Amino acid sequence: GAVVSQHPSRVICKSGTSVKIECRSLDFQATTMFWYRQFPKQSLMLMATSNEGSKATYEQGVEKDKFLINHASLTLSTLTVTSAHPEDSSFYICSATLGRGGDEQFFGPGTRLTVL
């Protein structure tokens, strides 16, 4: 099956700093990538949809200036959490799809962010 990686797997940072998370599709070209956030004991919440070469589409309530998404190539999307605060501590998960109608999404292993 298709493989999606994320880096780093976990990160601890100080409040006010920015953190960049990478999402890569290793063996296929992903037209579309998604970013999710999952708080403890809760389900995944979609944050934004990212298409290669265009601006990301953010879900309602997600601040685009705080969560910067760049999808520079068909195999790489990055999420930067700017000026992180403790309430941004969460499990961030990306997924990728070929972008054809009805295609499944392949998920990365997730990145656990802890903001002190």
Partner 1 sequence: DAKTTQPPSMDCAEGRAANLPCNHSTISGNEYVYWYRQIHSQGPQYIIHGLKNNETNEMASLIITEDRKSSTLILPHATLRDTAVYYCIGSGNEKLTFGTGTRLTIIP
- Write the CA distances from 13 to 5, 96, 111, 113, integer angstroms: 21, 26, 13, 8
91 binds partner 1 (CB under 8 A): yes
* Given 85, 109, 114, 116, the residue binding partner 1 (CB under 8 A): 109
* Given 32, 75, 77, 90, the residue binding partner 1 (CB under 8 A): 32
107 binds partner 1 (CB under 8 A): yes
- Min dist. Cβ of residue 23 to partner 1 (A): 10
Burial of 101 (0-12, 13-18, 19+ CB in 10 A): exposed
Rounded CA-CA distance 76/84 in Å is 22
28 binds partner 1 (CB under 8 A): no
CB 21 within 8 A of CB 108: no
44 binds partner 1 (CB under 8 A): yes
46 binds partner 1 (CB under 8 A): yes
